[in-house]
Each structure stands twice: as structure tokens, then as C-alpha cells.
Structure 1
Amino acid sequence: MTGTATMPKLRLTDAAVKRVKAPDGADRAEFWDTTQPGFGLRVSASGARSWILIVRALKAGAWMQQRVTLGRYPAVSLAEARALATEARTMAERGQDPARVVQDRREGQASASRNTFAAVRDEFLEKYRGRQQRRPAPRTLSEIERALSSDLFAAWTDRPLIEVAKRDVLDVLDALVERGAEVMANRTLTYLGTLCKWALDREIIKTDPTDGIKKPGAERTRERVLSPGELCVIWRALAETQAHRECLFAGMVKVLALTGQRRDEVTGLRWSEIDGCTWTLPSSRTKNHREHVVHLSAPVLEILEARKSEQDSMGIKSDFVFTTSGAKPVYGWSWYKAKLDACANLAPWTWHDLRRTLATRLAEDLRIPPHVIEATLNHVSGARAGVAGTYNRALYLDERKTALDAWAGYVLRLVGEAELSNVVEFARR
């Protein structure tokens, strides 16, 4: 006997699929399922197994039977084959080609193999780096990259993102909480959610595995304000740093404290942004993506003059103010913070506390109005948002100058340093 043998119907189960075989003398045999009409298994004499479906489909304006091969077993499991058969029958009933489900599956597999977690993550970060509008700050991008590249995601690296389930996300978050990194768990959920939303919008995935997951850690509002005494201790500790790189950071910390600007904004300070006693931060370097003008008080200008002289003596030709190589800004804030903490025995504090301290002391000790403080720090509250914010962005410049000069005098008197008067103003390079 040659050709195809039609066998009695049976309920196709995993055990049955493995057990059945073509009868002796037949090239192949077809086993039809008793529970799903038109769905069957073709078994060749060699033992190869393929899923098949016979369904009425519309061809050339007429309904006729069409045979569709759904894929080979075990590459396509019984459950997958049943799902494909159901989808193919639905397509046929709509007048569409039922064989399309196989092509769609192949394309989906190819897409999944390309769109691994690591590949999608890298593409996501690259797209965000190249955005001109609403681009996250460099520090935020670095934090996202570091968080999504941690050892906890090692098992996801070559895994298609579409296969990542909510349980996988919860496992990562639980591991972070167990390490005592509750806030980092919250940040990781936010970053992963942003990535998945981006992938969902581009049809890389069909569902967002982070959807509905609550932040696992308790957020603590950061309200640390340094006392005048603590500010003095930090200032004295800055003076104890001797090495060139340490002195560079000491200067940055002082600029941070005296201007109240954000850490990355000070780190990336460029000579081309300075004109006289005015520092103009471009929108590409601010958190709210708005150009921001900062008044530079006398002690800040003295720090910058020292940096300029040092760069000239070392032959460094760079637009970056705080740099050792000339090619990029200096980094290593955590390293310097550890050194500073060893000199200044204080309760835990962060670099951002310097910004908060400036705002608090301006309000409480120097009686600077809230709207001037907001403008100084480049905060956008309800009063400064929208059209009003656009109109007001250049206002209060005189008030901001007065505020930062008053703050500089306050700090210098506090730490026992004389007021500075003979300071060189910079022209744009």
C-alpha cells in the first residue's frame, strides 16, 4: 500500500501525537481530531509529523475546501497548532486566506528573534538619545541604561521581549526589594514601563507586562536641608582636598552650592555658555527643556577664572569647564562624595540637598520671594507654566541676580571667607 492512509478519528493529545505512526506500506497517514473539526496530524513513514487543517475558504469568488499545513511537530506544539487552526478558520469565515496564519507566525517568530530584550532596550535608548524634543537628561538616560542592564536582567538578554511576562517583571522587582533597594525597584519599574510602552506603540509587543504593577517600595520624600553649621563643615572639607581631580570636584561642588543648579548642568558647564557674569543653559541641557539664564556671583567667577588659568597652563583646549581630558566633562561624583564624607562627619546627605538648602535659606533667611526662587532654580510650577511661563522666562533677572549675590555673601560670611570684588568677567569664547 502506498499513498496516504486515512486513519480512524481520535482525540489528539500530546501522548497520542507521540504514539501514532503510519501503517506499514503507506507513505503517510492522516489522523483527524474528534474535538476540533478539520484539524489533524499527518505522519510520514519516516516518522515526521505535521499539523494540517481542512477548511472551507473563498477562492476566486467560490467557496471550496482548502488544505493548510500549520507547521511541524514538535516545533509547533499541539496547543499552538490548535490555536493556529482556530485563527485560520476565523480568517476563512471572513473571506480571508487561512494560510496567512502560517506566514504571520513565521514573521512573528522572525520579529521575536530580532526583538530580544537587549536589542529593544538598545534601540529604545538610541532613539531617546537622538530626540530633539522632550529628551531625558543625560543623567536620566544613564540611570535607565544602568538599571536595565543590571545583573537581574541577564536572563532576559537574548529573550524575545514579547515573551516577557508580568511574573518575570515581579521576580526582578522582588529581587531588588530583597536587596533593600526599594527605591531602585520603583525606578526600575518606571524605566521598564517606559520601555514597554515604547515597544507597544511600535507593535514590537502585544501587551505591556508592567501594566497594573504597583510600585513595590515605599518612596520617601527628600526634605533634607543642611544647617548653617553643616554647610560650614562641608566647605572646610572641600578645602582639604589636594589632588588635581579632587580640586576639580571641589570647584564643582562650590558652583553647585552657590548657583543652586542641577548636578549634570554644572558638570557639563561650557565656556561658550558663559558671557560676563551670565550663564545661559540651552534647552537641550535643562530638565524641563527650557533655556535658563543663571547669574554668576563673584565667588563663582573666581572659581571659573582659576579653572581657565589652570587649563591654559596645562594646554587644555576644551569648551568644557570641568574636564581633565578636554574631550568630555569629568565624572565620578560618587567617588568624590565618599572622600568628602570621610572628611565631613555629617548625617547622610546628597548633592541635591545643596540645591534644596539654597532654596530654603533664600526664603527663610534672606526673605527672597517664592517666584524669584523658582525662577532662579528653573522650576516650572503652575504659575510659570504654559504661555505665562514662556513670557516670564526672561523676567526677574535683576531679582535673581540680587538673590544669588545675596546668597554668595551669606555663604562666604558663614564660612569665614572674605567677600570678593576683583573678579574677571568672561566673554564668550
Structure 2
Amino acid sequence: MPSIQLTDAAVKRLKTPAEGRVEYWDTRTPGFGLRISSTGVRSWVMILRILKDGRWVQQRLTFGKYPGVTLAEARAKAIEAKGQAERGEDPGAESRAEKRAMIERTRHTFAAVRGEFLTKYRGRGNRRPAKRTLAEIKRVLESDLFTDWSDTPLSKITRRDVLDVLDVLLARGSEVMANRTLAYLSMLFGWALHREIIESDPTESIKKPGVEQSRERVLTLDEMRAIWQATEPTETRKGDLFDSIVKVLMLTGQRREEVGAMRWSEVDLASAMWTLPAERTKNHREHLIPLSTPVVEILKARQAEQAAMGMATEFVFTSFGPRPFAGWSKSKRALDARADIASWTLHDLRRTLATRMAEDLRTLPHVIEATINHVSGVRSGVAGIYNRALYLDERRAALDAWAGYVLQVVGVVETDNVVRLAR
């Protein structure tokens, strides 16, 4: 371990060893030196004795790499460290604290916390979001809007940063997406705040930036007729899976994902009952759906088609077998072209059933809510906790009446065989 007087000129002349490393100790500042490795890395080092746990021990410190840290800067740090040691202080404590802080900053970047959030987040009832919801959150938070945030510590992201992202979406005319983005960011920052990753939430008190109107679309009778007729096979077009799904959606009022992923194990055609397990419902409650005759006929037709094709599958609506129907967007566009009505969504079928059951068939509100498994209004709050009645007979009567109503509206039956329920 050679000793020399370290000067700027001397440091520049020192050779890189062929292998291993060599340390040159400064004759001017005892314990201070330069370590040179065979890789060419040059680091300022210091060896001194400190008082720890009642005894003197030797400690090695580093003060950065040359030439990033100059000789004068490294020597000044070495002299300061020696003074701290002589006063009984730990000269490496501040350096270790800085390193820990730096590690924490890099560990809690936006990208790192986002990944942890998507893996661990739990929402209402301490439940993981539905797969479709989680996929949408992931799509938004991993969009190009946040590319510049990736390596930024989450604690360094400000309210202004959030507003800038929202302004970009508003400039694009994506007002609904701006609202969704703010909601998902609030979920992320709220989760991080709860985990003590950050000390404040930059999304707090930011109001919804975009104009958003809740959907109130209820299909007219003409629109219901146009949609149904657009699902019927013609001389030039055979019926498909989507046609059957749309009819079941219109006749049952259930959710798109529930119908699209219907399993044969959930259906009892003999008793005309569909049992949705809790893990497949939005409110995580088992849901029983009485099946009207037209729905049973659709399901029996699917059963026969699968048997004819030799398809062994758990799914009612599938063309591939191992997976349920997935071509929603393409099939919906094709249906829209045939139906030729104003913009509508599959969820409008559910809203239309609930509205027209109430207005046209005089079905009681609690029966409608039980039918579509919607816990709100008359079934929410204290009433919802204590009222666990299934109303199965009433629901079956309501869905049978609704099926008759739909078939009359769409022109499948000509006589008025609609059952109007007493209020």
C-alpha cells in the first residue's frame, strides 16, 4: 500500500493496475487515499477509528469517485470525517442516510409503485377489482400520458403534473377519459398514502375536469324491433353467437359479461333456472335468474349446435371451446350497421328492461331490482341488509311477462298475450 502526497498532478499520473486493485495513501492527510481498480474505477477512501458501542473500531468510508469528486472536495470530506470521529460521532451516518433515502426514492418511482398498486390494490369490501375493471385501470395508468413520470419518485409528482396530464386529455376532446384518469390516479395516490409511500396526495380536491353526462338511454319500441330483427338470420346471412347473446340480454336484462361467459354448469334447462355464482356477479352475491321460454329455446339451440359440432365445452356462447365469446366490438359494429339506429350500447338493453318493466308492465320496483341483481333504491341501506327475500315467483312472472312483451314488440307474436302485473 504505497504512500504518496496526493496532488492533482500525481493523481493523473497514477497507473491502472493490471489486475485487482491498489490503494495510494496520502502523506498529507493520514488515513485518506485513492483506490484504483483494474476496471479503471478510482474511488476516494478514508480509514479511521470511531467510538462504537463503548469501544474503538476501524471504519472505512468512501467519498465518491474521481474525477466526479475532485481531490480538494474528497480531502475536505476526509478532514471533516476525522473531526467527527474525534468528537465521538459517526461520520458515516449521514452518508448511509443519504444512500437509504436514494434507495427509497428509486424504489418508489411512479412505475414501481404503479406496478405494486396493480398487483395489490383492493377496493370496496377489501375485494380485488373485476378483471375487466383492473384491465381498464392498467390501460389508462400505463398509457403514454405517463411516460415521463416512469422514473420520477411518486413523492415528487405534484398537483401541477396531474393537471397537465388532464389538460392534454381535455385538449384532445377526451373529457370522459380525463375524468376516468383522475379517478384512477386518485386510487393510486390514495393507496400509496395509506401505505406511507407518500405523505400527501396531489389529486386531493381536484374536481372532475370533463363534462360527463350519465347515460339515460332507454330504447324506443321501434329501436327494440330494429335490434331484434337485425339479429335474425336472412337468406344472405346466417345467425351467429352474438345474435343469440343480444337476444338473451334483451330478454333477461343481465350484464354483458355474465351472459357472454355463461356456463352450462350454471344452467338448469329442466327447471328453467340460471344460477350465477357470487364470483361472477358485480355485487359478489349469488343471483338466480328464472328463464323464460324464448331464452330456454335459445340455450337448447346452442346445446344442439355444440353437440352437432362435437364441441365439449363449459361455455354456452363460444366458437372456440376453451374460452367464452370475446368478439364484442366487431360484432356490435356489424349489428349497428344492420339495425341502423342512433348510437346505443348493450347496457341500454338492461336499462330498457328495467324502465319498461316499471312503466309498461307495472312491475314493482323491488321485483325489478331483484330480477337484474341491482342493489340500490328500495333494496339498499338497512332495508337491503334485512330484506333477503328472493321473490323468485314474482321474478319468474315478471320475466315471462317481459318475454311476451318483447316478442309482441318485435313482431314474433301477433296477438296481445302480454301479462300486465298488478302494482
1:289 corresponds to which of 284, 288, 291: 284
| Structure 2 counterpart SS, 1:239 | coil
Superposed, 1:176-325 pairs within 5 Å as 176-240=169-233, 247-275=240-268, 276-325=271-320
Superposed, 1:349-364 pairs within 5 Å as 349-364=344-359
Q: TM-score normalised to the size of structure 1?
A: 0.72
Is the 2:272–2:292 contact (alpha carbons within 8 Å) kept by the matching residues of 1? yes
Show structure 1 runs of 5+ residues with no match: 6-24, 29-41, 51-57, 62-67, 77-95, 420-429
Is the 1:134–1:289 contact (alpha carbons within 8 Å) kept by the matching residues of 2? no
Q: How far, CA to CA, are the matches of 1:70 and 1:384 in structure 2?
A: 68
| Structure 2 counterpart of 1:148 | 141
1:366 corresponds to which of 346, 361, 365: 361
2:410 corresponds to which of 411, 415, 421: 415
1:113 corresponds to which of 86, 106, 116: 106
2:384 corresponds to 1:389: yes
Q: How far, CA to CA, are the matches of 1:218 and 1:131 in structure 2?
A: 26
Following TM superposition, by how much is the alpha carbon of 1:220 offset from its aligned partner in structure 2, in angstroms? 0.3
2:339 corresponds to 1:344: yes
CA change 1:75–1:376 in 2 (3 A) is farther
Following TM superposition, by how much is the alpha carbon of 1:148 offset from its aligned partner in structure 2, in angstroms? 1.6
Q: Say which is worse superposed, 304-313 or 155-164, in terms of deviation.
A: 155-164
CA change 1:135–1:295 in 2 (3 A) is farther
Q: Which has the larger radius of gyration?
A: 2
Q: How far, CA to CA, are the matches of 1:277 and 1:340 in structure 2?
A: 28
2:154 corresponds to 1:161: yes
Superposed, 1:76-87 pairs within 5 Å as none
| Structure 2 counterpart SS, 1:234 | helix
2:339 corresponds to 1:329: no
Which one-letter code corresponds to 1:153 in the other structure?
F
Q: How far, CA to CA, are the matches of 2:206 and 2:90 in structure 1?
A: 39
Which one-letter code corresponds to 1:282 in the other structure?
P
Is the 2:43–2:63 contact (alpha carbons within 8 Å) kept by the matching residues of 1? no
Q: How far, CA to CA, are the matches of 1:369 and 1:216 in structure 2?
A: 38
CA change 1:321–1:343 in 2 (3 A) is same
Following TM superposition, by how much is the alpha carbon of 1:73 offset from its aligned partner in structure 2, in angstroms? 11
CA change 1:329–1:393 in 2 (3 A) is farther
2:163 corresponds to 1:170: yes
Q: Percent identity?
A: 59
Which one-letter code corresponds to 2:256 in the other structure?
R
Following TM superposition, by how much is the alpha carbon of 1:252 offset from its aligned partner in structure 2, in angstroms? 1.1
| Structure 2 counterpart of 1:80 | none
CA RMSD of aligned residues (A): 4.0
Q: How far, CA to CA, are the matches of 1:258 and 1:310 in structure 2?
A: 21
1:126 corresponds to which of 111, 115, 119: 119
Question: What are the superposed Cα offsets for residues 239-287 of structure 1, whole Å, 9 maximum, x if unpaired?
Answer: 258778x711111111111111111221221112222322122222222
Is the 1:320–1:328 contact (alpha carbons within 8 Å) kept by the matching residues of 2? yes
CA change 1:362–1:221 in 2 (3 A) is same
Which one-letter code corresponds to 1:219 in the other structure?
E
| Structure 1 counterpart SS, 2:344 | coil
Question: What are the superposed Cα offsets for residues 386-427 of structure 1, whole Å, 9 maximum, x if unpaired?
Answer: 5642443442111111111111110011111149xxxxxxxx
CA change 1:304–1:148 in 2 (3 A) is same
CA change 1:27–1:400 in 2 (3 A) is farther
Q: How far, CA to CA, are the matches of 2:139 and 2:306 in structure 1?
A: 32
Which one-letter code corresponds to 1:164 in the other structure?
I
CA change 1:391–1:207 in 2 (3 A) is same
Q: How far, CA to CA, are the matches of 1:327 and 1:344 in structure 2?
A: 31
Question: What are the superposed Cα offsets for residues 6-39 of structure 1, whole Å, 9 maximum, x if unpaired?
Answer: xxxxxxxxxxxxxxxxxxx9968xxxxxxxxxxx
CA change 1:229–1:69 in 2 (3 A) is same
Is the 2:365–2:378 contact (alpha carbons within 8 Å) kept by the matching residues of 1? no
| Structure 1 counterpart of 2:74 | none
Q: Say which is worse superposed, 309-318 or 157-166, in terms of deviation.
A: 157-166
Q: TM-score normalised to the size of structure 2?
A: 0.73
